[in-house]
Amino acid sequence: MRLRWTLERKRGLIGLLFLVPWILGFMLFFAVPFIQSLVYSFNTISLQSNQFTLDYQGIRNYTMIFTEHPSFNRVLTESVIGMIVNVPLILVFSLFAAVLINQKFRGRFLVRAIFFLPVILASGAILAMESGDFMTSMMKNQMSESSGNLSTLKSGELENLLSHSGVSPWIIVYLTGAVNRIYQIISSSGVQILIFLAGLQSIPTTLYESSKLEGATAYEAFWKITFPLVSPLVLTNIIYTIIDSFNNNAMTKLMKDTAFISFEFGRSASMSWVYFTIITIILAVSFAIISKKVFYHD
């Protein structure tokens, strides 16, 4: 019986081909360490006679980090809460910035480059150069302190304004926290802006021309045309931003210090697996909820 290659089957095959490099990379470079870390999480690792020995502990490492470790629960909770707070702010800012720089104006290519600068500055090479320069580090710390004081002043004024306007206290806390984290939000939005910008440029201009002929306002065109057509990219950016927010924070530093400073590799592995499990659950719940609202335009 001859296999019929439908359009949907062809698209699935193309998607699978894009996944092949990742699958090969995982099997060749990550599968063995992935399994080893799970084994280490149930053991105590010690160096004897120039080799590592494993002493099976069962779930002792897992119970210890939750019940005896002085900072694991606090750092883990702060990391999850920080992600929940930052992800919506990053998405809103990146979509807003992408819509702005997608407009036709002089110097828009320069503006796009400026918005992508945080990604370049956050690269490993730039960070290594900054960490190796003592004067740069001092200037960076001084600038962060002054900007922190300024943002605190501005957020205090905003808090007074919102409180006198009768805004709910939890909304005030969220907005003032967003103002205090404005640098972190901007520096984490470069990739998301590019993804949204690519999606905006793929929207047919005929849709906007037709809506204008029908008398639609810019506000209506955004919510009826722009946002539905970029909703698949909203899902993509949510997944990316969640993973990126968990990539380099206090929790990852705690795991590194536990392994390479305290030399408690088993406990560090158990922290990693707890952290990995929580990230997986958050990603699965986010995907299950948001994917139902995504609009795919054929």
Place 155 in a pLDDT band, splitting at 50, 70 and 90. Answer: low
Place 76 in a pLDDT band, splitting at 50, 70 and 90. Answer: very high
Residue 8 belongs to a domain: no
Domain extent, residue 115, equals 41-293
Model's pTM, two decimal places?
A: 0.78
Alpha-carbon gap, residue 270 to 276, rounded angstroms: 10
Q: What is the CATH number of the domain that holds 165?
A: 1.10.3720.10
CA dihedral 221, 222, 226, 231 (to 10 degrees): -140
Residue 178 belongs to a domain: yes
Residue 122 belongs to a domain: yes
Residue 158 belongs to a domain: yes
Q: What is the per-residue pLDDT for 234?
A: 92
Per-residue pLDDT of 25-65, as tens digits, reads 999 999 999 999 999 999 988 877 677 788 898 999 999 99
Alpha helices in 222-296 (DSSP H): 227-245, 250-260, 265-290
Report DSSP state, residue 166: T
Residue 2 belongs to a domain: no
Question: Measured on CA atoms in the order 100, 106, 108, 110, is the torsion positive or negative?
Answer: negative
Residue 34 belongs to a domain: no
Q: What is the per-residue pLDDT for 156?
A: 67
Alpha helices in 102-249 (DSSP H): 108-121, 124-132, 134-164, 169-180, 182-187, 190-201, 205-213, 218-221, 227-245
pLDDT > 70: percent of the chain: 83
Residue 4 belongs to a domain: no
Which range is most confident: 47-61, 102-116, 239-253? 239-253
Cα–Cα distances (Å) from 195 to 14, 19, 202, in that order, read 20, 19, 11
What's the total number of domains in the chain?
1
Residue 17 belongs to a domain: no
Cα–Cα distances (Å) from 55 to 37, 43, 52, 102, 233, in that order, read 14, 5, 10, 59, 47
Locate tokens 């750092």: which residue? 75
Place 279 in a pLDDT band, splitting at 50, 70 and 90. Answer: very high
Total residue count of the chain as it appears in this document = 298
pLDDT above 80: residue 206: yes
Report DSSP state, residue 225: I
Place 134 in a pLDDT band, splitting at 50, 70 and 90. Answer: very low
pLDDT above 60: residue 187: yes
| Number of Cα atoms under 13 Å in the Cβ half of residue 25 | 5
3-class DSSP state of 248: coil
Structure tokens at 65: 């980090």
